[in-house]
Amino acid sequence: MSESQQLKILITEDNIADCLIINKLVKDQGYRTVIAHNGLEAIESYKKEKPDIILMDALMPQMDGFEAAKRIKLLVGEDFVPIIFLTSLSDDISLVSCLEAGGDDFLSKPYNSIVIAAKINAFKRMVVLHRTVQEQRDEITRRNEYLLQEQKIAKRVFDNVAHLGCLGASNIKHLLSPMSVFNGDVLLASKKPSGGMIVFLGDFTGHGLPAAIGAMPVAEIFYGMVAKGFGVETILEEINKKLYTILPVGFFCCACIIDMDYSWQRIKLWNGGLMDVLLKDNKGQVLSYPSSHLPLGILSPDKFSSECVNGDMKVGERIYLFSDGIVDLRDKHGNEFELDGFAEFLLENKKPDEIFEHVIDQDRLSAEANAENNDDVTFVEIMMIADDVISVKHELVENSEQHGARDWVMSFEMFDHTIRDFNPIPLMLHVTMEVPELRAFNNDVCMILSELITNGVDHGILGLDSNLKKTANGFQEYYNLRNERLNQLSGESLHISLRHKPDKYGGGLIIRVVDTGSGFDVSKLNNEFPEVSQLSGRGIPLLRTLCESVVYEGSGNTVEAVFRWKNTQDDTKL
Amino acid sequence: MTIVSHLSAAGDVMKIGIQGRFDFGSHHDFRETYDKTDSSVKEFHVDMAKTTYLDSSALGMLLLLRDHAGSDTVIKIIICNADVYKIFEISNFDQMFDIIPAS
Amino acid sequence: MTFKQLETAQIEELELMLEDEFPEFVRTFISHSDNLISLMKEQLSVQDNDAFIIGIHSLKGSCRNIGAELLANSCLEVELLARKESILSVDPELSTICQEFTELKETLSKLARI
């Protein structure tokens, strides 16, 4: 009803003279009028004309005002159409009947034009208010629906980016229970080219779309860098840098990243702002890795620390990560599921396979009991497994059918501080992976390069003795010494060259590494794998397993390794 | 939730007290306490002795205060409630603010 | 307490409000009230209590509206009688009411110059 469109008032009055009076009074105030002479006529009039306000005589033939008012109120439903009774009834009981019948007010005879004007005016304001509120409510509902639809579509895009990776691997169990269409939690997992896996759990501040939108660049960086062979420290630095740039001040991401090394049965972990990460070992002990850093996105790159904690994790041991929603979970009695409680539960529990299911039940119970107060819950269990080895037999495919980098040489030389600061492996993998057939051997090439470069640096240039690594203390000493010597480099260099030579059904990758160290007695080389309990010495025997040949030249500071392969039908990666 | 603020006579220390829940709804009031201050304020004392609850958006608001005040200004946060203290601990906010446990 | 036949203030206000339509209004009032009275006499004769009460109530109301206090109160007395006792107690000829109405008709017609 617009301002220019005046109120329409239904006048129900059986006395014709009275009707004339009230009609004139109301029209004089600028309103439109509709007339009815009894209750039945009033109901029909209402249906047809949909008046905004009704003036209703109480006593009428055919159907009185009370009955008509009751029926009309039913027709009105959730709209607001005030009914003012016109009456010369004076006793309280009758007046109460008016109100009980659904009347909103009454006017007594004789009619007073001032009183009538005031009452109609007051109700007019209420009618307008009521309509405005209804319209706004409907508008809000419409827009909300629209937003929800948009979110659903956005979620599909989000899922395509954030949920690639190996969350389906057999050693990971996870629970992601979002409160809204979008979750502030992001869970990423990816296999490393050199074997093993990196898992990232992030909990962005807030809920819904703003929280989830930060997850997309994080997912891109994570998967991209893991696939290229970057280490967790570098990945963290990149993610923090990105979030620091794009998130507004006051928004951040509590996160934990875990690098799982299946071959060495070790983990490397960084926890910034998440609840304690718990590890249950094979002896039944529970170790905790608490948050020791600020969440991601807060510190500028120069202040950010990607320092990780190292730990052992044997096959069969399990590690548990949570987002903070987990502490809001309640069981069906409304008791809180506390973190300390969970640690205790882990300690007492003798059936490791059931732990995860127990938490799922808690989550389900909590959702049923307490829908409003639940937060997003993410809960992950990762188990350490032995090396994942996949052997596949494929038909040989002729080289002439393949495209890409197929016959090339690349060399790279690093000096002094670059040796300390720069990891050339991602760069080299980037190039080798341009050879389509080599992509299936990402793992192997990475390991070979890694071993050769480490040997060249550690033993060649730095002159470190791997015998130091025979004991746990020795390990620490070794790395301390390594850092010390890396900082003192002067006039040293490491030269790496890669040559790809294709043949009919495959090819060879020839890797030469030359270091400026003093070399060693090649005849003393350990070519056999050491005892299982020995902490080091697996390097060269491993190389010999993977490569067709490994030859040390000269005084031992030059090594040439050849990796040969046959083309396989399916060389799609990951 | 009530937020009160008091600037010292010399104009160099701003005290902000937060009573009750410190959450998303506190955003406007909290911001108003420091928005108009300038570099003459050398220290902020955020008194959370009577704060009963804190969530991540509150942590975000403290970061906004840190951003406004600049890295040279001292921001002290006085905490009493164990749950509140735990949140600061997990998020390692003691690296950015001086956290003082109240007795 | 005596009531005036026609409350001047009230009828003058009506006249002011209705302007040119005042004579038409007076005619309507007179003819409608006439009808009502005839109807009421019928209802009395067949002893239709409910319908009678609606009628006398209506006449009373419209009398109040024009300021015809005397007639309005006579109607009120009859209405109360009919409600509390029964229409059997009511004068079937409605003599008082008819008498006062006739006088009122005259006054109104003069006022409206019809």
Last residue of a domain, one of A355, A383, A411: A383
A340 pLDDT tier (thresholds 50, 70, 90)? low
Question: Are A239 and A329 contained in the same domain?
Answer: yes
Q: Does residue A201 share a domain with residue A314?
A: yes
Question: Are C58 and A24 in contact (CB < 8 Å)?
Answer: no
The structural domain count of chain B equals 1
Residue A571, domain member (yes or no): no
Instruction: List the single range of A271-285, A291-305, A473-487, C41-55 with lowest mean pLDDT.
Output: A473-487
> Is A79 in the same domain as A198?
no
Structure tokens belonging to residue A373: 């107060």
- Which among B60, B93, B95 has CB closest to A250? B60
Flag whether A485 is in a domain. Answer: yes
Q: What CATH number corresponds to the domain at position A75?
A: 3.40.50.2300
Residue C59, CA distances (Å) to A21, C38, C78 in order: 14, 12, 11
Q: Does C have 3 or more CB contacts under 8 Å with B?
A: no
Question: Domains of chain C, with CATH numbers?
Answer: 22-112 (1.20.120.160)
Between chains, do C32 and A17 touch, taking CB under 8 Å as contact?
yes
A371–chain B Cβ distance below 8 A for any pair: no
Q: A202 and A103, same structural domain? A: no
- What pLDDT does B55 receive? 79
Confidence bin at A255 (pLDDT 50/70/90): very high
Which residues in A lie closer than 8 A to residue C18 (C-beta atoms)? 21, 24
CA distance A222 to chain B (A): 22
Could you tell me if residue A301 is inside a domain? yes
What CATH number is associated with residue A410? Answer: 3.30.565.10
- Please name the member of A16, A25, A88 whose beta carbon is closest to the beta carbon of C32: A16
Tell me, what's the pLDDT at A363? 67
pLDDT band at C84 (very low <50, low <70, confident <90, very high): confident
Asked which of A159-173, A394-408, C53-67, C77-91 is least confident by mean pLDDT, the reply is A394-408
- Residue A185 domain flag: yes
With bands split at pLDDT 50, 70 and 90, how would you rate the model's confidence at A88? confident
Domain CATH for B73: 3.30.750.24
- Give me the CATH number covering residue A196: 3.60.40.10
Are residues A254 and A130 part of one domain? no
pLDDT at A32 over 90: yes
Q: Are residues A375 and A455 in the same domain?
A: no
Which pLDDT does position A120 carry in this prediction? 93
Least confident of A36-50, A412-426, A528-542: A528-542
Greater confidence (A141 vs A438) lies with A141
Task: For residue A110, give the nearest of C25, C51, C65 by CB distance.
Answer: C65
What is the domain extent for residue A210? 163-383
Verify that A484 and A562 share a domain, yes or no: yes
Indicate yes or no: CB of B63 within 8 angstroms of CB of A272. Answer: no
Q: Residue B71: count other Cβ atoms within 10 Å of its Cβ.
A: 9
Q: Which of A134, A153, A175 is the last residue of a domain?
A: A134
Kindly determine whether residue C57 and residue A28, on different chains, have CB atoms separated by under 8 Å.
no
CA distance C52 to C39: 8
Domain final position from A83, A114, A134 = A134
- Tell me what ipTM this predicted complex has: 0.90
C-side interface with A, Cβ within 8 Å? 10, 13-14, 17-18, 21, 25, 28-29, 32-33, 36, 51, 53-54, 57-62, 64-67
Digit-coded pLDDT (tens) for B52-100? 888 778 888 899 999 899 888 899 999 888 878 888 888 888 888 889 8
Are both A418 and A444 inside the same structural domain?
yes
Neighbours of chain B (3+ CB pairs under 8 A): A
| H-run or E-run covering A121 | helix A113-162
Domain match, A439 and A514 both: yes
Are A378 and A408 members of one domain? no
- Give the pLDDT confidence of A91-122 residue by residue, as tens digits: 666 777 788 888 899 888 888 888 999 999 99
- Rounded Cα–Cα distance for residues A274 and A292 (Å): 9
For residue A173, give the 3-state DSSP assignment. Answer: strand
Instruction: Report how many domains make up chain A.
Output: 3
Nearest chain A residue to C26 by CA distance is A17
* Segment among A10-24, A112-126, A266-280, A327-341 with least mean pLDDT: A327-341
| Two structure tokens written together for B68 | 């406004």
Give contacts of B93 with chain A, Cβ < 8 Å: 294
> Does B59 sit within 8 Å of A205, measured CB to CB?
yes
- Domain range spanning residue B62? 2-101
In a domain, A3, yes or no: no
User: Cis bond leading into A248, ω under 30°?
Assistant: no
Note whether A174 and A319 are same-domain residues.
Answer: yes
pLDDT band at A378 (very low <50, low <70, confident <90, very high): confident
In a shared domain, residues A404 and A536: yes
pTM of the model: 0.57
pLDDT of residue A198: 94
- The subunits that touch chain C, with at least 3 C-beta pairs less than 8 Å apart, are A
| Minimum Cα–Cα distance from A247: chain B residue | B60
Contacts of A473 (CB under 8 A, 6+ apart): none
